[in-house]
């Protein structure tokens, strides 16, 4: 009798065990993940930058890294991996172990690369996990003083009256100044010639010297020339006025509603890093970016602190990747 009851219980016991096993495994994995997040980090963190030392991306990354050590309890070591417009560092982090010890300092120009290169060996949206934006870089459009326009509305009217006669400088196809110039042309329906330069300094110097009519440039790069009245500022490219030039209106305020491009620097991790670690990194970044010390350091570099949630950062990347692709299609550029 007892034997029969045991035999009859056997299928239900097996069924219950089969039901509970995945649940126990899930709970165990969650406990391990939570334990890792609580102890993270236990060793130094590497922060890869896809550009050479001394540039804006490198300076921003180092200013942030120096201050992250305090909330994280471990040093954050900046490593420069320049080349291929930042994609070497992007790929290196995208293929790194998802443990939170290899991070990426990435700029908004990375959202243009998928539209310029047919076979990128990584996908930003698939292979990288956004943590937070850390800084915005205010840009403005400046003209040589000989250009008879003092605001965006007057410049648009001037360019329309002289199709193909005015030109603007950038630091190459796909760069922020190039995207700003092409967006300006598309939205205002203008015929303005693009003149590429090797670097931002040459671009701005050519504008001040009258070799070209105008250029889109970061505020730190044009401020000395602006104060010396060697260039005239026309409009800011962001949605809001720059803190360092509060009297300069945006394009949206002065003749071109809807125009907005604001380069940013942010931090990402390999996809697959546990959500708890991403949350811990985000909290540390928000604390540092909103701190008075970094705000002052950023101000001296012409940067504006700007922290976000991982979700907000991911949405920004997706939106800008799509809008950049649309703009490049409109001007006839195809991936190589």
* 83 and 153 fall within a common domain: no
* pLDDT at residue number 3: 47
* pLDDT at residue number 275: 98
101: domain CATH number?
Answer: 3.40.190.150
* 48 and 111 fall within a common domain: yes
Residue 199 exposure: Cα atoms within 13 Å on the Cβ side: 7
What lies within 8 Å, CB to CB, of 284 at 6+ separation is 68, 71, 72
The pTM for the full model equals: 0.85
Question: Which of 236, 252, 274 is where one domain is finished?
Answer: 236
Establish if 248 belongs to a structural domain: no
Q: Please state, in angstroms and as integers, the Cα–Cα distance from residue 232 to each residue in 26, 143, 182, 200, 201, following that order.
A: 62, 5, 20, 17, 17
What lies within 8 Å, CB to CB, of 173 at 6+ separation is 116, 196, 333
Question: Which of 216, 236, 256 is where one domain is finished?
Answer: 236
| Burial class for 235, CB neighbours closer than 10 Å (0-12, 13-18, 19+) | buried
Q: Which domain holds residue 200?
A: 139-236
* 102 and 166 fall within a common domain: no
* pLDDT at residue number 23: 60
Token representation of residue 60: 């921003």
Q: How many domains does the chain have?
A: 2
Q: How far apart are the first and last CA of the chain?
A: 79
* pLDDT at residue number 276: 98
10-residue mean pLDDT series, the chain (336 residues) = 50 59 56 67 98 92 97 98 95 98 97 93 97 96 97 97 97 94 97 92 94 95 93 96 94 93 96 98 98 94 95 97 96 89
Establish if 231 belongs to a structural domain: yes
* pLDDT at residue number 21: 60
164: domain CATH number?
Answer: 3.40.190.10
* pLDDT at residue number 33: 53
Establish if 62 belongs to a structural domain: yes
DSSP single-letter state for residue 85: G
DSSP, residue by residue, 193-250:
EEEE-SSHHHHHHHHHHTSSSEEEEEHHHHHHHHHTTSSEEEEESSSS--TTSTTSPB
* pLDDT at residue number 28: 52
């Amino acid at each position: 009798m007892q034997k029969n009851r045991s035999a009859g219980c056997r299928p239900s016991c097996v069924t219950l065990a089969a039901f509970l096993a995945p649940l126990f495994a899930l709970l165990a994995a969650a406990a391990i993940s939570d334990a890792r997040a609580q102890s993270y980090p236990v060793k130094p963190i590497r922060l890869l930058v896809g550009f050479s030392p001394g540039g804006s991306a490198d300076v921003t990354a180092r200013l942030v890294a120096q201050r992250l050590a305090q909330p994280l309890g471990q040093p954050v070591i900046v490593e420069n991996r320049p080349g291929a417009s930042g994609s070497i560092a992007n790929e290196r982090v995208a293929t790194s172990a998802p443990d939170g010890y290899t991070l990426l300092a990435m700029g908004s120009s990375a959202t243009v690369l998928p539209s310029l290169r047919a076979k990128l060996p990584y996908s930003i949206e698939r292979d990288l996990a956004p943590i937070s934006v850390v800084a915005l870089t205010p840009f403005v459009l400046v003209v040589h003083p000989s250009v008879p326009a003092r605001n965006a509305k007057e410049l648009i009217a001037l360019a329309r009256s002289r199709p193909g006669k005015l030109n603007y400088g950038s630091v190459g196809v796909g760069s922020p100044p190039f995207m700003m110039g092409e967006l300006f042309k598309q939205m205002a329906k203008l015929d303005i010639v693009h003149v590429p330069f090797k670097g931002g300094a040459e671009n701005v110097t050519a504008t001040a010297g009258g070799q070209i009519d105008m250029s889109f440039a970061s505020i730190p790069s044009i401020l000395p020339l602006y104060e010396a009245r060697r260039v005239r500022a026309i409009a800011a490219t962001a949605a809001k006025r720059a803190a360092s030039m509060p009297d300069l209106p945006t394009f949206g305020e002065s003749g071109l509603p809807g125009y907005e491009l604001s380069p940013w620097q942010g931090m990402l991790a390999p996809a697959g890093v546990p959500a708890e670690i991403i949350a811990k990194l985000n909290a540390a970044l928000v604390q540092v970016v909103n701190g008075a010390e970094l705000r002052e350091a950023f101000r001296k570099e012409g940067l504006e602190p700007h922290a976000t949630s991982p979700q907000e950062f991911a949405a920004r990347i997706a939106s800008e990747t799509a809008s950049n692709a649309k703009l490049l299609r409109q001007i006839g550029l195809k991936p190589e």
